[in-house]
Every structure is written in structure tokens, then in C-alpha cells.
Structure 1
Amino acid sequence: MSATCDDRRAGIARTSPLPRPRTVVAMGDSHFRDMFDLPRLNRLHHLCDVRGPLPAGSLDDALVRAELGEVEVLLTGWGCPPLDDDVLAAAPRLVAVFHAAGSVKTHIPPAGWARGLVVTSAADANAKPVAEFTLGTILLEGRRTWRYVEGYRQHRDGGDAWRRLVPPTLNHGAVVGLVGLSRVGRRVAELLRPFDVTVLVADPTAHASQAARVGATLVALDELLRCSDIVSLHAPELPETRHLLDRRRLALLRDDAVLINTARGALIDTEALIDACRDGRIRAILDVTEQEPLPAGSPLYELPSVQLTPHIAGAMHGEARRLADSALDELERFLDGRPLRHRVDAGRLSTMA
């Protein structure tokens, strides 16, 4: 099988039926159950000779270590420990990792890339629910829904004087700023096309023509912050993007602006955000935070102008089957010698999420 896998890595299409590759599936049990219903489980077994526990929650387990010596393919997902140098050394015949989740930056060590492993990611499949979550949040926040929910709860006398204290709704004529023309950022821009909003994008790696293709206008970040009613973050976490929204930039936001973060918590200076939200001048919707889980004593829990969700924007429950489909589709293409659609380019890791 090793010779055939080497041929596949070279892009040589198979011309006759080949044995199924020895495979270990490594991910958390709950994620596996969300991803693999019976049809997908049957497809997995059709494509692969699956060995060891299903799923393997640990790569240090004695049974899994025994299988790693013969394994040719790893199918991984959320809950899988990093494939460190010890794991790679224990798997000399490993040629490909199909990751049924998003980022692989902390998943594959330098030795794996140097070894020439084929690595694919289901980040595109996971971008869809994140973009849908973002769109729903933008529309609800543009309607100032939370203000009416809270006002209706507090004022039960039938009067509506409190309504005059709610800022005007934004869904007609709003300016929505997207920080990052990533796969999620592009999807959000495209989903916003039917609505009566202007979309701005700030991304130092993008060109104006790329933004125009998704109905957006490319601008500098500071201009985006000054002009936008709603700002949504879709940039990767890199050394240069850490605390991208610092105290100075948060101060650029308009009064009553809404800041949405479904990307990475470290993009925002948390202490500066707490100060900006404490008096209610801006509102923040945070699906990610700089520390996850957020410490119990964080002031973010107590601020009325902050809404926290526990990192739920990505695929959940039945949505996770998209991730399984993506990984299995890539695996099948690999076995057939067809071009892969979601292979991760190690040369681009420095700019990826």
C-alpha cells in the first residue's frame, strides 16, 4: 500500500481498484457523533479500513499507538490532540491527514509539513454556519432587537415612552464593515447583497477588485471603523493582528455602533473593550474571547451592552455533517488521484487563521 500511496501523493490517478487505506479517526466523541450519522459512517468504512477505537480520543492510548505503526491516513477533527513529533515518529507510513474541522496551524507540526504530508481542511464547510450566524446577528442588531426585548421586559405598563430611548434601526441604509476578506468575510458580504446596506471591507492582503466581486468597497481599517454602524471581525489571529482593535481604534467607533466577533478573541484588546462598553457607548457581540472559556470573574458577563455566546458560530450538531462530507469528499478524491479542493498550502500558514 505504501507504494500506491506514494503514487497518489504524486498525483497519479489509480487505474484499478486498490485496498482501502489503513485509517485512524481521531476526534472528540461528541463531535464524531454530530458528524457521522449512519450514511456517513457507512461511507467512511467503504473508503477506509478503519482501525482502533472509533473515534480515538487520544493518540497516546496503547491500542491507538499500536495502529499508528501501520496507519496511512488520519481523519481528524475537533478534540483531536496535535499531531506532535512523537505521533509522527510512531506513524512512519502516514501520508495524509484529512481534518474535518477548520484551522490546522496548531494541528500539524513543522516536521509534518517537512515530511510532505497531504493535509486538507474543512474550513470552507465551517465558514457557512459562521457566515449565517453573522448575518443573523447583523440583522437582529440592526433592528436594535435586544433593546426592545429588554425594554419590553422592564416596562410592563403598556406605555411606550421607553421606545424613544432606543437608537434608530439600521437595516435600511446601514454601513456594515467587515474586517478581513477571509472565506467567512466573503460569505458574509455575499449574504448581505439582498439587503439595503453598504458593505465596507478592510484587509491589507486584499485588492479592491476582490472586494467589488462580493459587493463591497475596500477601505483602510480606521476609515471602516469611523464609518460603520456595525463592524464584524473575520481576520486571522497573527502577531500583527493581536489587539488589532486597541483602545485607539475602539474610540473611532460611532456612538451606538455594534461590534461582532466570531473570529478570534485576541483581535480585540479586552480591557479596552470593557471600558468602551461599560457606559454603553458601543455594543459588543462576542462569540469568541481572548480567554476561552472566559474566566468567571470577567466584567464582560455583567455589562448590559455585551452579549456573550460560547463559541457557537461554527458548525454544531447536524451542521457538522458538512464537515464530515468535506473530509470524505477530499479523501475520495485523494484515493482516485483527482485534484484536491481543500488542500492546505504550508507556504500560506503565516496568513491563515
Structure 2
Amino acid sequence: MPISELFPHTSQLADELCLIRSMTHRNPVHGPGECVALTGTATGQRPSLGAWSIYGLGSESEELPAFVTMNLHTDGMQYPQAAGWGPGFLPSRFQGTVVNPDQGIEHVHMPAGVTTEQRLDELSAIEELNRRHLDSLQQHSELSARLRSYELAFQLQTASPELFAVDQETEETAHLYGMNDPTAKTVARGCLIARRMVERGVRFIQLRVGGWDAHGNIQGNHERMAQRTDRPIAALLIDLKRRGLLDSTLVVWGGEFGRTPTMEGRGKGRDHSPAAFSVWMAGGGVQGGKIIGATDPIGYTVTERPVGPTDLHATILHALGIDSNELAYDHHGLRETPLGVTGGAAVTEAFL
């Protein structure tokens, strides 16, 4: 499996990776493209893949959110649209919780001078008032989700600080992820927190690293981005495996689209290319060292085994033990499934 020399750490793990070379769709714009990648449609009106996953699996941890999204680096780009972690038409409780990898989960710290017992008494009184209000509205979905968020916030006040205490890790683990490398430190911290979340039962973790949009100087841009990401993501795979977690954890690396194989003409950059790009998966029962699909010789169009975003969604859900055609939600009298009207099928040959 050929891997760019920009990724020396990841390339050493080629036997763990299942590479899909034939990802394809038709939306070349970042915002709608992210919606396509994370919800299956460009409108942003449907549930995100994370929301569907939690709807199907439920929560494993009583103290932490089931679905977490972290923004690790943006290079000045806007944070992705909320649709990327939103619930769509599913109940609001299935949306992702936004986490700052440096500050943890916002607005959950215990007020100064307040004991746990005092805080519990206060929240119990508020909860009773909220429940009465909820009953008067006949179990309003959004209000119910808001009340659940208050309950979760109190639980996070005790669980969250320990989760983000990466200084508890050994020096060897910190070095493995690149915590001592100023260039990679932000992504390293995010990947290390992601591993700690996996250990504590967070089911769906979404990390975003922006800055790949190289319309000019693609060589310098991608060298910089690879230095930020290569070591941390390789460390995550190594760390999960040595802790016995990789087989039960699916790791997916990809973006909303790739870059064209031809120069854009603006300072040696490349334009957006949704027509043909790659995604890799590791763990979760996939076949390591396997390559699926193909493009023409320059990587401009898919020539073999095209895989669309909803096909990838079906594949991820398949790895989670969910049949994407059977998981359904009744929305305004319609039987809605994760694949919507677009449809899709799992890439089952990716699995052992």
C-alpha cells in the first residue's frame, strides 16, 4: 500500500489500514460538502452520522456524552456547520457535545465555594420545577433534551476534569503522541483525549483538523499539516491496539473531498475534487492492508468500485452492528433511515 512520504509514522501502520480509493460525490463546496460527508445530504436537514449511531446504540456511560465532537485546528477557517454533529429530525438528545480539547467541556465547572452536596440540592430543586414545566408541555422533545443536558452537566462536573487530565499519562505515552512537539501538540492532545474517551465509554468521537484547503502552495501546506497530524493519528492506532481496544474501535480518516491532480494555477495549488478521493479505516474488524476501488492513472475520476458518502455511512454503521436499512425513525409519517432517499450499501469486503 503506497503512502506518501509526508506520513512516515502512518506508513509504518499500512498493514492496519483499509484504504478506500474510490470515494466520490458531486458537491465541491466546503460547507455543503461537510454536510454531505457527515449527514449524507448537502442541506444540513438530516441527522448526522453520530446522531444516528447514538440513536441506534444508546449511551454506554452515565457520566459522559455518548457523542463528542472536537475541533483541533482550523487555520482561521470557520468551525464546521452544526449539522455535522446535529440531530436533524431525531430528538435533540442525540446531538453531539462540542468539546474544547484545551478547556474541556464548557460551562460544567463547579462554582467557586459550592460543595457537591449544595450543588446537588440546588439542581434537585431546579429539576423538580423543570419536570413540572415539561409535563405541562406534554413531553416536549427539545425541552426534554435540554433537561437531560442539565443532568449530564452535573455528572460532568465530577467526571470531566479527570477525563482531560492528560498529564496523568506516562512520559512514554506523551512522547508517542507528540505532546512535546509544538507543531503536533494540539492534534496530539485531541487524539489522546479521544483514546481516554474510548476507554470511558464514549461511543462516537468526531475530530476535525482544518487547514488542508491548499489552493496555493500545496507542497508547503501539506507538509505542515502532515507534521501536525501524522504522529498523533499513528499513535492513536498504536495505543488503542496495545490496550486491546482497536478491534472494538473503528477509526476512520477522511475529509469532505480531496484535491485535483492538476495544478489550479494560483501559486501551485490544487482545487477541490469530490469526484475522486480516498478514506482509510482501521480497527473495528476491517481488513488491514486492503485496498478497495481505483481511479484513472492520475486520480481524476473513479474507475472501479465507486463509494459514496452514504455507502461509507452504511459501512460505519455495519461495523457498529447496525443495519442501516432497519434502523428507522418515524418523522411526519415517513419511515426515515440513515441513508435517506439517496440509499447506499455497506462496503462489506472491507471486513474480515
What's the TM-score once normalised by structure 2's chain length?
0.30
More relative contact order, 1 or 2 (CA 8 Å, 6+ apart): 2
What's the TM-score once normalised by structure 1's chain length?
0.30
Larger Rg: 1
